[in-house]
């Protein structure tokens, strides 16, 4: 029992009372010291900091760059020297022409190379005889020089009566030689010292001018790639980074890194062109929809890259402009440079400008209604006028023109157009509306003519048409002149001409600003066969200007740069050549200023017999038919009866719109005259009309005297 008590006592012995004992050794032990960093580690860190510092890398890059400029300049000069003394340049250009399939250029370079080799052979043969020729030349020159000096010395001795002067010219020459030797001796040392450095400086300048250094060594602004030449590797890289996964994968799997996708890179206008055959699984519209990203990948602006669809399947054609080339003006219009140029309404095309490739862009106007829109001051009137100036060189075309701006842009058509209205007021809108209604009457007269009748072209042109659509004036019958409803006189006249005019060669051309449903109603804009637009503000305006189909197909006049792209049009028409797969084409129009336009219209007026231009259309008034016939004939010795009727209709559609040849004959026969036949066609002679007026005046005078 005692053992149990003892063991229990041992197990339950209480812990000592008071604070826990402190480990004195742990308290008095000194703190552990920091491990020192070795010197070589600190040195390495310092060297790394200095080596990777921005200033160090910039300085090293600059040193390498300027040294590589010298090396690059040496390489460039060596290549130029080699190409200047060998036919390697011609061989290189010959291979490039053959690769591009241009056999004509290849033949030309081959011929040039052959001529170079012949000339080089002749020069080398001349070197064989050069030492003997040089020795003979030196001997002859020395003899002639010595004789000349002796003769000069004799002349001096005779003049001075001192025979010692005979040797003076020779001694002077010897002294000159001595001074030349002295100068060369003095300057030779510095020249030897400076010469190599001057050569190095020249090589450095050549290398710097050509940026003959690797990309990593060039400064940041020179490494941006802006405007760099288009090469196969750049094109493939741009396509690979386009964000089309199947295309990127296919390029990676190609053994030639995508080179087989590309056709030859060809020079095309102010840029280059290359066909890209897309791999299976990549559609052409996927590339077309990424035009902006592709342009950025090629270091170009969006307006400098165009994607079209050639005839080959699964192929896109890339045209990439030279950087900044599209900001340069194009050449003058053929209308100003070719004084013998004429027009043909039916078969010809107006030389309007150039497409972005630099190819001529010509527009057919035959039986096509025309609409040109755009922001103010972007070249709308100039583009519209350029077409009218060309067509004016076809003397069969009649113009009736209303300029609702009235700034004189169309003043040169006075004496060429049968109607010319100029001004922005409501009265001018009324006149323009009545001009269109007169065109409707002429159209209806032609439609009722016998089948097979051929009618001369009649172009009704309204510039600033938005002024007419927005006009609030109403007539006496409460019909508005403007607006987009069936009660609008201008709107209905335009619609009637759009519906039936082209069948009888009556067409309507309109120019308007900022297209909206209010200033360009939908039914009117959709009636135009040729629709063109300059820079616009929004995509909705672009759709109103060109239509949904053109915009969905890539037309984007809203992406044109106002001011910078002045005179540049996006055109949707079957009258102009548009690349396959595109719904529109961009045209940079020729600018013809007012003075040049006046010269062109002067040529057009000289082709005609004389045109009386009406500036105000009078309606609902008593007319003198015989006097009006004399007015419309003007100075022409004779006119076809159809032309006389046409001009009478322009003079007063209400009175003469329904006239026929019988009405014309009736008026003239009443005073003893009638139309005559000339070369198988009925004509009215000016002398006969004046004689009828004279007879009538005589009868009136006799009646008054009685």
The pLDDT tens digits for 113-134 are 888 888 888 888 888 888 888 8
Distance of alpha carbon 489 from alpha carbon 430, whole angstroms: 9
Give residue 654's pLDDT band: very low, low, confident or very high (50, 70, 90): confident
Q: Residue 101's pLDDT is what?
A: 56
Distance of alpha carbon 488 from alpha carbon 474, whole angstroms: 9
Give residue 618's pLDDT band: very low, low, confident or very high (50, 70, 90): low
Give residue 22's pLDDT band: very low, low, confident or very high (50, 70, 90): very low
- Residue 200, CA distances (Å) to 111, 204, 218 in order: 37, 6, 19
Give residue 627's pLDDT band: very low, low, confident or very high (50, 70, 90): confident
Give residue 608's pLDDT band: very low, low, confident or very high (50, 70, 90): confident
Average pLDDT, integer, range 306-315: 78
Between β-strands 370-374 and 530-533, what pairing exists: parallel, antiparallel or unpaired? Answer: parallel
Give residue 219's pLDDT band: very low, low, confident or very high (50, 70, 90): low
> Diameter of the chain by CA atoms?
185
Distance of alpha carbon 589 from alpha carbon 567, whole angstroms: 6
Beta strands in 357-498 (DSSP E): 360-363, 370-374, 398-403, 419-422, 458-463
Candidate ranges 308-312, 665-669, 697-701; pick with highest mean pLDDT: 665-669
**197 has a pLDDT exceeding 50:** yes
Strand order in the sheet with 266-268: 266-268, 271-277, 315-321, 305-308
Specify which residues 324 forms β-bridges with: none
* Mean pLDDT over the full length of the chain: 82
Residue 478 phi/psi, 5° resolution?
65, 25
Q: Which tokens sit at 495? A: 């619609």
Distance of alpha carbon 355 from alpha carbon 362, whole angstroms: 9
Q: Residue 227's pLDDT is what?
A: 57
pTM of whole model > 0.75? no
Distance of alpha carbon 481 from alpha carbon 432, whole angstroms: 10
CA angle 568, 574, 579 (to 5 degrees): 70
The pLDDT tens digits for 261-299 are 888 888 877 788 888 888 888 888 888 888 888 888 888
- Residue 389, CA distances (Å) to 372, 383, 457, 552, 607 in order: 16, 10, 15, 33, 13
The residues near 354 (Cβ < 8 Å, ≥ 6 apart) are 269, 330, 360, 361, 587, 588
Q: Cβ distance 319 to 305 under 8 Å? A: yes
Q: Residue 190's pLDDT is what?
A: 85
Please give, one letter per residue, the 3-state secondary structure of 166-179. Answer: HHHHHHHHHHHHHH
DSSP state of 533: E
- Residue 11, CA distances (Å) to 1, 3, 20 in order: 16, 12, 20
**542 has a pLDDT exceeding 80:** yes
Q: Cβ distance 378 to 515 under 8 Å? A: no
CA angle 413, 418, 424 (to 5 degrees): 65
Q: Residue 569's pLDDT is what?
A: 92
DSSP state of 57: H
Q: Cβ distance 422 to 428 under 8 Å? A: yes
- Residue given tokens 């030389």 in the structure block: 351
**222 has a pLDDT exceeding 50:** no
The 8 Å CB, 24+ separation contacts for 279-287 are 279/246, 279/247, 279/250, 279/251, 280/250, 280/314, 281/246, 281/250, 282/244, 282/246, 282/247, 282/250, 282/314, 284/309, 284/314, 284/315, 284/316, 284/581, 286/244, 286/247, 287/239, 287/242, 287/244, 287/316
The residues near 47 (Cβ < 8 Å, ≥ 6 apart) are none
Candidate ranges 301-310, 490-499, 631-640; pick with highest mean pLDDT: 490-499
Q: Cβ distance 551 to 539 under 8 Å? A: yes
Candidate ranges 5-9, 321-325, 524-528; pick with highest mean pLDDT: 524-528
Burial label, 673 (beta-carbon count in 10 A; 0-12, 13-18, 19+): buried
Q: Cβ distance 519 to 505 under 8 Å? A: no
The 8 Å CB, 24+ separation contacts for 570-573 are 570/532, 570/533, 570/542, 570/546, 571/361, 571/363, 571/530, 571/531, 571/532, 572/530, 572/531, 572/532, 572/546, 572/547, 573/363, 573/368, 573/529, 573/530, 573/531, 573/532
Residue 316 phi/psi, 5° resolution?
-115, 145
Q: Which tokens sit at 180? A: 């030349």
Distance of alpha carbon 605 from alpha carbon 438, whole angstroms: 23
CA angle 507, 511, 514 (to 5 degrees): 140
**304 has a pLDDT exceeding 80:** yes
Indicate the helix (H) or strand (E) that contains 302. none
The residues near 116 (Cβ < 8 Å, ≥ 6 apart) are 87, 90
Q: Cβ distance 696 to 626 under 8 Å? A: yes
The residues near 51 (Cβ < 8 Å, ≥ 6 apart) are none
The pLDDT tens digits for 71-116 are 888 888 887 788 777 887 788 677 656 654 567 777 887 888 888 8
Distance of CA 96 to the CA centre of its chain: 27
Give residue 390's pLDDT band: very low, low, confident or very high (50, 70, 90): very high
Q: Residue 663's pLDDT is what?
A: 80
Q: Integer distance in angstroms from the first to the last C-alpha of the chain?
A: 185
The pLDDT tens digits for 467-516 are 999 998 888 767 899 888 888 899 999 999 999 999 999 999 999 988 88
Return the minimum-mean-pLDDT range out of 197-206, 223-232, 321-330, 374-383. 223-232
């Amino acid at each position: 029992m005692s053992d149990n008590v003892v063991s229990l006592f041992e197990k339950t012995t209480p812990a000592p009372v008071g604070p826990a004992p402190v480990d004195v050794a742990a308290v008095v032990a000194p703190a552990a010291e920091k491990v020192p960093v070795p010197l070589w580690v600190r040195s390495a860190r310092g060297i790394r900091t200095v080596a990777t510092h921005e200033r160090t890398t910039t300085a090293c890059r600059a040193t390498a760059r300027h040294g590589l400029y010298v090396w690059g300049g040496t390489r460039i000069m060596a290549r130029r020297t080699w190409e200047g003394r060998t036919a390697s340049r011609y061989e290189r250009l010959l291979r490039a022409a053959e690769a591009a399939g241009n056999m004509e250029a290849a033949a030309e370079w081959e011929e040039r190379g052959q001529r170079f080799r012949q000339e080089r052979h002749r020069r080398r043969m001349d070197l064989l005889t050069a030492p003997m020729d040089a020795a003979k030349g030196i001997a002859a020159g020395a003899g002639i020089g010595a004789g000349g000096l002796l003769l000069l010395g004799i002349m001096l001795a005779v003049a001075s009566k001192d025979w010692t002067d005979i040797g003076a010219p020779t001694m002077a020459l010897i002294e000159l030689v001595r001074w030349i030797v002295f100068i060369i001796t003095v300057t030779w040392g510095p020249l030897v010292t400076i010469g190599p450095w001057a050569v190095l400086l020249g090589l450095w300048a050549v290398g710097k001018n050509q940026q003959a250094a690797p990309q990593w060594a060039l400064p940041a602004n020179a490494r941006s790639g802006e405007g760099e030449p288009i090469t196969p590797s750049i094109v493939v890289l741009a396509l690979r980074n386009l964000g089309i996964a199947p295309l990127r994968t296919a390029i990676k799997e190609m053994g030639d890194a995508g080179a087989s996708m590309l056709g030859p890179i060809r020079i095309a206008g102010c840029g280059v062109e290359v066909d890209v055959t897309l791999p299976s699984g990549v559609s052409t519209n996927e590339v077309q929809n990424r035009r902006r990203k592709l342009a950025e990948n090629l270091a170009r602006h969006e307006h400098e890259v165009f994607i079209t669809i050639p005839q080959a399947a699964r192929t896109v054609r890339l045209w990439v402009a030279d950087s900044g080339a599209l900001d340069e003006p194009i050449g003058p219009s053929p209308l100003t440079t070719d004084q013998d140029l004429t027009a043909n309404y039916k078969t010809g095309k107006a030389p309007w400008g150039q497409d972005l490739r630099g190819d001529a862009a010509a527009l057919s106007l035959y039986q096509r209604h025309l609409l040109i829109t755009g922001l103010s001051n972007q070249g709308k009137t100039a583009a519209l006028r350029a077409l009218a100036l060309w067509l004016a060189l076809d003397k069969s075309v009649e113009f009736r023109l209303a300029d609702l701006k009235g700034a004189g842009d169309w003043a040169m058509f006075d004496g060429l157009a049968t109607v010319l209205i100029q001004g922005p007021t409501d009265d001018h809108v009324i006149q323009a509306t009545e001009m269109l209604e007169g065109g409707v009457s002429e159209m209806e007269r032609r439609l009722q003519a016998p089948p097979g009748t051929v009618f001369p072209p009649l172009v009704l042109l309204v510039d600033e048409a938005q002024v007419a659509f927005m006009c609030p004036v109403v007539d006496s019958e409460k019909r508005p002149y403007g607006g987009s409803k069936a009660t609008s006189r201008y709107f209905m006249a335009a619609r009637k001409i759009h519906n039936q005019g082209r069948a009888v060669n009556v067409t309507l051309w309109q120019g308007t600003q900022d297209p909206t449903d209010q200033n360009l109603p939908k039914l009117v804009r959709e009636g135009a066969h040729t629709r063109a637009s300059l820079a616009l503000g929004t995509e909705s305006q672009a759709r109103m200007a060109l239509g949904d189909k053109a915009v969905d197909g890539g037309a984007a006049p809203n992406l044109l740069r106002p001011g910078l792209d002045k005179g540049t049009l996006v055109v949707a028409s079957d009258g102009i050549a548009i690349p396959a797969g595109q719904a529109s084409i961009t045209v940079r129009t020729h600018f013809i200023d007012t003075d040049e336009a006046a010269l062109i219209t002067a040529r057009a007026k000289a082709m005609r017999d004389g045109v009386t231009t009406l500036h105000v259309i009078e309606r609902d008034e008593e007319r003198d038919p015989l006097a009006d016939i004399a007015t419309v004939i003007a100075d022409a010795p004779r006119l076809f009866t159809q032309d006389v009727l046409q001009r009478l209709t322009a003079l007063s559609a209400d009175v003469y719109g329904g006239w026929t040849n019988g009405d014309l004959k009736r008026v003239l026969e009443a005073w003893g005259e009638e139309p005559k036949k000339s070369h198988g066609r009925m004509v009215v002679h000016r002398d006969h009309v004046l004689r009828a007026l004279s007879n009538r005046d005589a009868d009136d005078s006799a009646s008054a005297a009685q």
